[in-house]
């Protein structure tokens, strides 16, 4: 059995996710999210959807991007 790299659980049905040519093993989506999902540069929440990106920084929404000084982004038209 493979071991989840986030929680250490040994599970008979793990998932393997390849990101940037590196393979990761998890026992649940929750553990995969905690290990791989980017965090918002303003509020530090995990970004599960598209989010927004300015340069090398990711934001969960236009509000957080705006709070960081990026007023050009909007959540909707």
How far apart (Å, rounded) are the C-alpha atoms in residues 68 and 77? 20
pTM: 0.79
At residue 44 the predicted structure's pLDDT band, cuts being 50, 70 and 90, is very high
77 pLDDT higher than 80: no
Domain boundaries, the chain: 1-36, 38-77
Instruction: State how far the alpha carbon of 24 is from the alpha carbons of 4, 48, 73, 77, in Å.
Output: 8, 18, 33, 37
Q: pLDDT (tens digit, 9 = 90+) per residue, 5-38? A: 999 999 999 999 999 999 999 999 999 999 999 9
Predicted pLDDT of residue 38: 95
Q: pLDDT (tens digit, 9 = 90+) per residue, 57-75? A: 999 999 999 999 998 888 8
Instruction: State how far the alpha carbon of 68 is from the alpha carbons of 10, 23, 65, in Å.
Output: 41, 33, 5
């Amino acid at each position: 059995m493979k071991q989840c790299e986030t929680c250490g659980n040994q599970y008979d049905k793990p998932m393997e996710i390849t990101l940037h040519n590196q393979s990761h093993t998890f026992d649940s989506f929750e553990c995969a999210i905690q290990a791989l999902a980017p965090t918002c540069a303003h509020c530090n929440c995990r970004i599960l959807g598209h989010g927004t990106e300015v340069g090398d920084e990711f934001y969960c929404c236009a509000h957080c991007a705006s709070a960081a000084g990026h007023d050009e982004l909007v959540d909707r038209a």
